[in-house]
Amino acid sequence: MTTNPQPPTPDMSEETVLAGALPLDARADLETVLAAWHTATLRLEQTHEALRAEVQRLTDELALKNRELARKNRLADLGQMASHIAHEVRNNLVPVTLYLGLLRRRISADAGSLEVLDKIAASFTALDVTVNDLLNFTADRDPHWRTFAVKDLADEVLGSLAPQLAAQRIQAEVTAGEGLRVTADRDMLRRAILNLVLNALDVMPCGGTLALDAVEDERGVSISVGDTGPGMSEEGRRRAFEPFFTTKPGGTGLGLAIVYRVAEAHGGQAAGENQPAGGARFTITIPHPIREAAA
Backbone angles phi, psi at 235, to 5 degrees: -65, -40
| CA 21 from centroid of its chain's CA atoms | 70
Strand pairing class (170-175; 208-217): parallel
pLDDT level of residue 222 (50, 70, 90 thresholds): very high
In this structure, are residues 202 and 194 in contact, taking their beta carbons and an 8 Å threshold? Answer: no
Left (φ > 0), alpha (ψ -120 to 50) or beta: where does 251 sit?
Answer: beta
* 149 has pLDDT over 80: yes
Q: Residue 224 has what pLDDT?
A: 97
Q: Residue 42 has what pLDDT?
A: 87
Q: What is the largest CA-CA distance in the chain?
A: 141
Whole-angstrom distance, CA of residue 186 vs CA of residue 190? 6
Helix then strand count (H, E) for the chain reads: 9, 7
Number of neighbours of residue 255 by Cβ within 10 angstroms: 23
* 27 has pLDDT over 60: yes
Whole-angstrom distance, CA of residue 244 vs CA of residue 233? 17
Which of 106-115, 233-242, 270-279 holds the top average pLDDT?
270-279
As beta bridge partners, residue 285 has 222, 269
**pLDDT tens digits for 71-93?**
667 766 666 676 667 777 777 77
* Percent of the chain at pLDDT exceeding 90: 35
| CA-based nearest residue to 283, from 218, 221, 229 | 221
* 286 has pLDDT over 90: yes
The whole-number average pLDDT for the span 254-277 is: 91
* 68 has pLDDT over 80: no
Q: Report the CATH number of the 146-294 domain.
A: 3.30.565.10
pLDDT level of residue 46 (50, 70, 90 thresholds): confident
Query: Residues for the chain: how many in total?
Result: 295
Domain ranges of the chain: 12-140, 146-294
* 236 has pLDDT over 60: yes
* 276 has pLDDT over 80: yes
Number of neighbours of residue 176 by Cβ within 10 angstroms: 21
pTM for this structure? 0.61
